[in-house]
Amino acid sequence: MMHCHRKKLKLNDETEVVMSNELYASDREKPRYISPRVDICEDDDGISLYADMPGVARDGLIIETLENKLSIKGNIDLEPDASYKPIMNEVRYNAYSREFTLSKEFDSTHISASLNDGVLYLHIPKREELKPTRIKINLD
């Protein structure tokens, strides 16, 4: 159990804020998730998904499919200096997590993924038998 105490923070010459870390003690003990923002584009071959996941390294990223569910999770590994003693944590999250339901037209066994500068890119192809085919017109 954490000891709760009050601190006064002087934000400027006229404003003082009194805070208690009692409200935030339990938040530091469990992971906090944020849903990453995504862009999804479709073409004839499949869909491309771009997810903003700053602070996530490749080894902290988990992409899983189960039946028609696609799950992306990423742990943020930004440990503060040992001397850092937070008095308020409203912005800091420990991980990203988001789940999508894929329709049957997509092939979840051939998803490709890359991570570059905090942006996760996934390409989810359409099943071959469901891709549009062009029919050649013969001249008589």
Amino acid at 62: I
How many domains does the structure of the chain reveal? 1
Tens-digit pLDDT profile for residues 13-54? 554 444 444 444 444 555 678 899 999 999 989 999 999 999
Residue 45 lies in a domain: yes
Residue 62 lies in a domain: yes
Q: Model pTM? A: 0.67
Domain span at residue 45?
32-78+90-130
Looking at residue 10, its pLDDT comes to: 45
Strand pairing report for 16-20 and 69-76: unpaired
Residue 6 lies in a domain: no
User: Percent of the chain having pLDDT more than 90?
Assistant: 41
Is residue 71 scored above 70 in pLDDT? yes
The overall longest dimension of the chain from CA atoms, in Å, is 89
Residue 44 lies in a domain: yes
- CATH number for the domain spanning 123: value is 2.60.40.790
Looking at residue 22, its pLDDT comes to: 44
Looking at residue 89, its pLDDT comes to: 65
